[in-house]
Amino acid sequence: MIKKVLVIALIAVIGFSLMNVMLQIPFGEKRETVGDYYLQKSPQELKVANSVTAIVVSFRGFDTLGEVTVLFLAAMSLASIMYRRKRKGDIEIRAKKPSSRILQVGAQIIFPMVVVLGAYVFIHGHLTPGGGFQGGAIIATASLLMLITYRKFKVNHNTITWIESIAGIVFVGIGMTGLLKGLTFLQNFLELGELNSLLSGGIIGIIYVAVGFKVAAELTGVIDTVLLNNRPDNNDNN
Amino acid sequence: MIWQIIILIVLIILTVGAAIYAVVAKNLLYAVVSTGLISLGLSMFFFILQAPDVALTEAAIGVALTTIIFIITIRNTTKYEDVSDKKKSIERRKND
DSSP secondary structure, A83-117, as one string: -----TT---SS-SSPPPHHHHHHHHHHHHHHHHH
**By the 8 A CB rule, do A91 and A151 touch?**
no
Is some CB atom of chain B closer than 8 A to the CB atom of A238?
A: yes
Residue B60: list chain A partners with CB under 8 A. 134, 137-138, 140-141
Q: Which pTM was predicted?
A: 0.81
Segment A170-196 shows an average pLDDT of: 87
How much is the pLDDT for A91?
57
Please list, in sequence order, all residues whose beta carbon lies within 8 angstroms of the beta carbon of residue B76, skipping any fewer than 6 positions away: A93, A230, A231, A234, A235, A237
Query: How many whole angstroms separate alpha carbon A72 and alpha carbon A167?
Result: 11
How much is the pLDDT for A90?
57
Query: How many whole angstroms separate alpha carbon B77 and alpha carbon A237?
Result: 7
Is some CB atom of chain B closer than 8 A to the CB atom of A131?
A: yes
- The three-class DSSP label of residue A23 is helix
Residue A131: list chain B partners with CB under 8 A. 53
pLDDT beyond 50 at A235? no
How far is the alpha carbon of B82 from chain A, nearest alpha carbon, in Å?
13
Query: How many whole angstroms separate alpha carbon A224 and alpha carbon A90?
Result: 15
Give the relative orientation of helices A61-82 and A157-180 as an angle to the nearest 10 degrees.
160
Query: How many whole angstroms separate alpha carbon B35 and alpha carbon B18?
Result: 7
Question: What angle (nearest 5°) sits at the alpha carbon of residue A50, between those of residues A46 and A53?
Answer: 75
Query: How many whole angstroms separate alpha carbon A139 and alpha carbon A9?
Result: 49
pLDDT tens for residues A3-54?
A: 999 999 999 999 999 999 888 887 777 777 888 888 888 888 888 888 888 8
b/e sequence A156-176, b meaning 16+ C-beta within 10 Å: eeeebeebbeebbebbeebbe
- The three-class DSSP label of residue B80 is strand
Between positions 145 and 164 of A, the ones with CB within 8 A of B are 148
Query: How many whole angstroms separate alpha carbon A154 and alpha carbon A147?
Result: 7
User: What are the residue ranges spanned by the domains of chain B?
Assistant: 2-95
DSSP state of A5: H
Share of residues in chain A with pLDDT > 90 (%): 38
pLDDT beyond 60 at B63? yes
Query: How many whole angstroms separate alpha carbon A162 and alpha carbon A165?
Result: 5
**By the 8 A CB rule, do A171 and A214 touch?**
yes
- Number of CB pairs < 8 Å for A and B? 57
Long-range contacts formed by A232-235: CB under 8 A, 24+ apart: A232/A89, A232/A90, A232/A91, A234/B76, A234/B77, A235/A91, A235/A93, A235/B76
- The three-class DSSP label of residue B27 is strand
Query: How many whole angstroms separate alpha carbon B22 and alpha carbon B27?
Result: 9
pLDDT beyond 80 at A89? no
Segment B19-25 shows an average pLDDT of: 93
- Give phi and psi for A48, each to the nearest 5: -115, 125
Query: How many whole angstroms separate alpha carbon A137 and alpha carbon A220?
Result: 9
How much is the pLDDT for B96?
67
Segment A143-163 shows an average pLDDT of: 87
pLDDT beyond 70 at A120? yes
Interface of B with A (CB under 8 A): 52-53, 55-57, 60-61, 64-65, 68-69, 72-79
Question: What angle (nearest 5°) sits at the alpha carbon of residue A73, between those of residues A189 and A165?
Answer: 50
